[in-house]
Chain A
Amino acid sequence: MSALLDMGRAGRRLDGVDIVDMHGHLGPYAYGQPQATAAALIADMDRVGVAAIACSHMQCLGDDMARGNDEILAAMQAWPGRILGYACAWPSDRDSVRREIELRLGQGFTGIKIHRTPGFSYLDPSYEPAFALAHEQRRPVLLHTWAEDRDFSELRELAGRYPEAPILMAHSGVHSEGRHIELARQCPNIYLDTAMSRMPRGAMERLVAGAGAERVLWGSDALFLSLTYEVGRALGARLPDDVKRQIMGGNARRILGSIRS
């Protein structure tokens, strides 16, 4: 029996559960999500009972990251403590990345998001100031991955170079679960993010069993995907409720609580 499963089954608000979603987005994407607004996302969070969501703008996959950061900032100010910000920067060069990330962290952003779509390796020298700041301030860095060879090799390298930076490996378990688990075991600052449209059945349980509950982070990818859909993966997992609480919020709170400003 799982009280959390039963609450999700009934569509009851998860009062008493501290849920922090570490993988969110604001803004529209190519396929046209209905109601792609921060207000709609907050409404979903209120119905489910999600306390906070860390968001980058969909422009982290686009060409106008500064505008995306501006829109994230506006949402952070409109919903303080509910919308947390991941800052993004186009990797023109080291100085421009440093300026943009320093600006945004100074404005109250929580962490950094980097995607593959700009077309650069995560080891590109332009990104080094971003990782260095994350290391100095223990800020989470969410990296888009899809279980490619370069994902595992680059993240292993980054985790070693910047051991104080929590590195969140997005979409862990899309396939090659064993490689995700192995990487998490080798690198204590790597966390496995479970946001995914089509996670294989039982993958959440296998990631927890292999990497340890303290290294798995539930995320929704909303509003790129549906928060109300993704929350079911954690609530329905064959795991004790205290483990579900840990991966849905406890681990995130620990990461957020370790940030040095």
Chain B
Amino acid sequence: MPMELLDVQCGFGTAPGQRQPVTAADLCDEMERIGVGAGLVRLTPPTLHFDIAAGNAALYAVHDQSPALIPCPVVIPDAAHDLPSNDAQAAEAVGHGAGAVCIRPRTDCWSLAPWASDGLFRALSARRLPVLCSSDEVPLEELGGLAGRHRGLPLVILGANYRQQRILAPLLEHFPNTYLSIGSNYCVHHGIEALVGAVGPTRLLFGTGFPDVDMLPTVTYLSYADIPDDAKRLIGAGNLRRLMREVVR
């Protein structure tokens, strides 16, 4: 029985310089080829996808067609009163079957300062909605501050760089509500083994980085890791399934 894989770091969309978009069908084809059962999907890269209402609607439509593509919509603090309320955004995400939400403060031009964003994070905490934070959108130092202020809110680090091991390890150790995708660009020699040793297997999540990169490298990073099989199963799918189960719907 092959290990179940649930991808926390994948998506589809159009990138600058790309003549044809990567479609949801392309993502499904690759998931089938590699043996990834489901994915928490975003529109990626964010550069051209700045209309979050349209983008989120596209994710929900894809989910209706392909239930294995679980939507991960973008949320933005309603700090400037130009958007639906924080509670309404969280409710909309949950209502459409989102498994998590994604924040992009750099792309969407907002601040993680408490006075500018804590209303949103309180609304997300109330529903225990995991928040995906790409490391190029949320510096790890700021993520630590956020994790300390909202200790009931699961925060998932995406796109961590292999050179950040000395920041990631203490971050995960200090804040039990933080989780790390092992997808691109976390390709640290014995990184999985070291972090499982430091914080246990429940804090790592399988992710790939598709469509920027190929899927199989993260699969083999996990499948050949020197950790017990039950730990691999947790990382492969179990941990994210649990986080999604705990969302208050």
Contacts and interface: CB of A to CB of B under 8 A. Distances in A.
**Do A and B interact?**
yes
Given A10-B223, A197-B162, A35 B190 contact: yes
A90 B194 CA distance: 34
Contact of A226 (B221, B223, B232): B221
B218 A226 contact: no
B213 A201 contact: yes
Contact of A11 (B162, B163, B184, B224): B224
A5 interface: yes
Interface string B157-186: 000001111100000000000000000110
A44 B34 CA distance: 22
Interface string B197-211: 000000000000111
Nearest to A37: B190
B143 interface: no
A248 to B, nearest CB: 13
Contacts of A40: 189-190
B216 A36 contact: no
A197 B216 contact: no
Contacts, number: 131
A48 interface: yes
A18 to B, nearest CB: 18
B55 interface: no
Interface residues of B, number: 38
Contacts of A233: 214, 216-217
Contacts of A201: 210-214
Contacts of B217: 229-233, 236
A118 interface: no
Interface string A178-199: 0000000000000000000111
B185 A226 contact: no
A222 to B, nearest CB: 6
A8 B194 contact: no
Interface of B: 2-3, 33-35, 162-166, 184-185, 187-191, 193-194, 209-226, 232
12 contacts: A8-B224, A11-B224, A30-B163, A198-B185, A198-B212, A226-B189, A227-B189, A232-B216, A232-B218, A232-B220, A233-B216, A236-B216
